[in-house]
Structure 1
Amino acid sequence: MKIVISGGGTGGHIYPALALVREIQEKTNDAEFLYIGTNKGLESQIVPRENIPFRSIHITGFKRKLSFENIKTIYRFLKGTRDSSRILKEFKPDIVIGTGGYVCGPVVYAASKRRIPTIIHEQNSVPGLTNKFLSRYVDKIAICFDEAKEYFPSSKVVFTGNPRASEVTGKDGIRGRLSAGLSTTLPTVLIFGGSRGARPINEAVVKSFADFANKPYQVLYVTGDVHFEAVKKEADLIGNPGNVVIKPFIHNMPEVLAGANLVVSRAGATTIAELTSLGVPSILIPSPYVTNNHQEKNARSLSERGAAVLLLEKDLTAKSLVTSIDAILLDKEKQKQMKDKALKLGVPDSAERLFRLMQQLAGKKQQ
């Protein structure tokens, strides 16, 4: 089977695509891949490192306000569609899947016009403009949150979950703790704000050091590379408690997540997929700066089902953070309840589900 994948802009669109590629490679030896992205997106750096053939087109996203730039974007979309169509004609894929980001627009649209089976994968509870547009043309729409159903034609929707969830199951949590310099016996809270960190979370955590020093649990605090030096300097001035480990970045995040009793983080779709697959209780602090406020809606999907606690950034203080952590880590029964409810929302076979859907559509084409 020849497969074209397109997705870009953020890791939230790229990493699920790569998880899907790895799942397919494990299941079959005859799959051939081509990834179409942009030269300026993260995908241009990440995908080639995975030894996946990569082609690029030039496209930009629409501005939500009336702007002359949108006229340029329409031109780029039309050119991107022509360029994508030419690439598809050369590669002759059996199926095309878009995992999000504006680059998917011309690629998936061109595929639909060439009558190639198409799927879009929507990771969030609220879809972006590109997937809303493409929903009219694709054959199937794979979703990760039930809340996303209302935005799409019901006949096309299939619940698959996020392929990233499949990559965290079965990881060694003890090994993850040891790799981060943590005790293997103390209850553990992992705090992070995404790959680049989040200043409001960093500020609240630093102000919590004095309280953390007296707690019967340990804290692994991942600042993000951009903030690490400033945070470390402040920690040294205040006094870094012995039960708080500060890291700029974690490269083996699935293992470290598996070793956590509680996670404090943003509410990105990939993070939520990982947490629910592992059954890790969480305190979610959604970023208020994302499109359609989708992170808050992602977080509410978990908090309303008892799998997470929602803490809005406007309510985030050192006191509210420590109080929220204590309420979970110091209550084993509450931890168990949240873990069980998170596991019920997890889809550890999500990559396999999406692959089966692709096989079905590609098979229909070949009949």
Structure 2
Amino acid sequence: MKKKILFTGGGSAGHVTVNLALIPRFLKDDWDIHYIGSENGIERQLIEPLKGVTYHHVSTGKLRRYFDWNNFKDPFKVIKGVGEAFSIIKREKPSVIFSKGGFVSVPVVIAGKMNSVPVIIHESDLTPGLANKVAIPFASKVCTTFPETVKHLPENKAEYIGAVVRDELKSGNRAKGLSFSGFTGSKPVMLIMGGSLGAKRINEAVRNQLDELLKTFDILHLTGKGQVDSTIHMNGYKQFEYVTDELPDLLATADLIISRAGSNSIFEFLALKKPMLLIPLSRAASRGDQILNAQSFEKSGYANVLLEEDLTEESFMKSVRETYQNRETYIHSMEQDNAGDQANKIEALIKNKAK
């Protein structure tokens, strides 16, 4: 009889990418794979097309640190989601549950505990997010990306694993990426990534300086959903809302990356040895996790950091020039990173915990 694993995680692409890295490994070993996500989240778009994976959706509410009238009704959505997840888990009887986090994972982790199924959580950021903070008491194990995170977690549950990077990202083809973009390769390529939802402030900073930037770079701009500006038509500037299959090739073309500081993305850039300028989400718009991630990378010599609070046209261009001029220094520092194959470690941990 096949062993069965249930994955969960969603709300943003960052809460799905580690699952996307692990799922092929379990498919290869002929596991029966199920996934619980939300009805309309990006996780459904990314997971449902995968062959060999059965997708289920449950009700989910957002956990907020600020006042919102939805705070009064969303707990009922979470309770409903727990009931729905409980029924799915009871019916499917998975051997183990792996959660990448995000709000949709909370009812799944709670329902897993109620069904006595081992639950493993992966925390990407330096400090645990709100969803994982709620879920951790119901988990069997919590894997961390940063070694510092262990001190924020129960000692008997925490285990430092490191970042899990999708294997396919390491096999990108620069020539294919240039062809897809319509670039000749005569200029260095700047890749801007603001995450699946985009980064309005970064998008504006880039577009306000396009004339100047295009003197040096060809620019690939992943704008985020609904943020392509169809009025801009300039040689050397290509916009896409979001890419999936082409991403490894586009990353292979990049000589400089400008990005937010979500953990999954920046560790992917580290694995690919890509010089990066990080503009983390501000504390006003987040809990400050991206700032901590960026500061950790800056301290290690992997990245240049420009805080959003300090973002102006002048500071942006100064930081771009500094990052590109010092690219070899960043690459050298990243080459000293001796991380092993974390995907193998976490795969072994999951299999060891499976009932």
Alignment pair present for 1:273 and 2:275? no
Q: Distance in 2 between matches of 1:142 and 1:344?
A: 23
**Native 8 Å contact 1:166 1:348 kept in 2:** no
Distance 1:78 1:228, change over 3 A: closer
Distance 1:219 1:77, change over 3 A: closer
Over the matched positions of the two proteins, sequence identity in percent amounts to: 30
Q: State which of 227, 237, 247 in structure 2 corresponds to 1:245.
A: 237
Give the AA of the match of 1:300: Q
**Native 8 Å contact 1:181 1:245 kept in 2:** no
User: What is the SS of the residue equivalent to 1:124?
Assistant: coil
Q: State which of 7, 16, 25 in structure 2 corresponds to 1:23.
A: 25
Q: State which of 318, 322, 331 in structure 1 corresponds to 2:317.
A: 322
Distance 1:259 1:346, change over 3 A: farther
Q: State which of 324, 332, 341 in structure 2 corresponds to 1:340.
A: 332
Q: Distance in 2 between matches of 1:150 and 1:328?
A: 32
Alignment pair present for 1:296 and 2:291? yes
Aligned to 2:34: 34
Q: CA deviation at 1:278?
A: 0.4
**Native 8 Å contact 1:279 1:346 kept in 2:** no
Q: Greater shift after overlay, 125-134 or 286-295?
A: 286-295
Distance 1:290 1:20, change over 3 A: farther
Aligned to 2:122: 121
Give the AA of the match of 2:212: D
Distance 1:200 1:63, change over 3 A: closer
Q: CA deviation at 1:57?
A: 1.8
Q: Distance in 2 between matches of 1:175 and 1:40?
A: 32
Cα deviation digits, residues 212-239 of structure 1 (max 9, x gap): 3443x4333333452323xx53x45xxx
Higher relative contact order (CA 8 A, sep 6+): 1
Aligned to 1:90: 91
Cα deviation digits, residues 104-154 of structure 1 (max 9, x gap): 112112212322111011122222222112222211111112232222113
Give the AA of the match of 1:291: S
Aligned to 1:159: 160
Q: Distance in 1 between matches of 2:348 and 2:304?
A: 34
TM-score, structure 1 as length reference:
0.86
**Native 8 Å contact 1:228 1:247 kept in 2:** yes
**Native 8 Å contact 1:266 1:284 kept in 2:** yes
Q: Distance in 2 between matches of 1:318 and 1:346?
A: 36
User: What is the SS of the residue equivalent to 2:122?
Assistant: strand
1:1-20 equivalent positions in 2, closer than 5 A? 1-20=3-22
Q: Which protein shows a greater Rg?
A: 1
Give the AA of the match of 1:92: K
1:108-257 equivalent positions in 2, closer than 5 A? 108-215=109-216, 217-224=217-224, 226-229=226-229, 232-233=230-231, 235=232, 240=234, 242=235, 244-249=236-241, 251=243, 252-257=246-251
**Native 8 Å contact 1:8 1:102 kept in 2:** yes
CA RMSD of aligned residues (A): 2.4
Give the AA of the match of 2:109: V
Give the AA of the match of 1:246: K
* More helix as a share of residues: 1
**Native 8 Å contact 2:165 2:271 kept in 1:** no
Q: CA deviation at 1:180?
A: 1.2
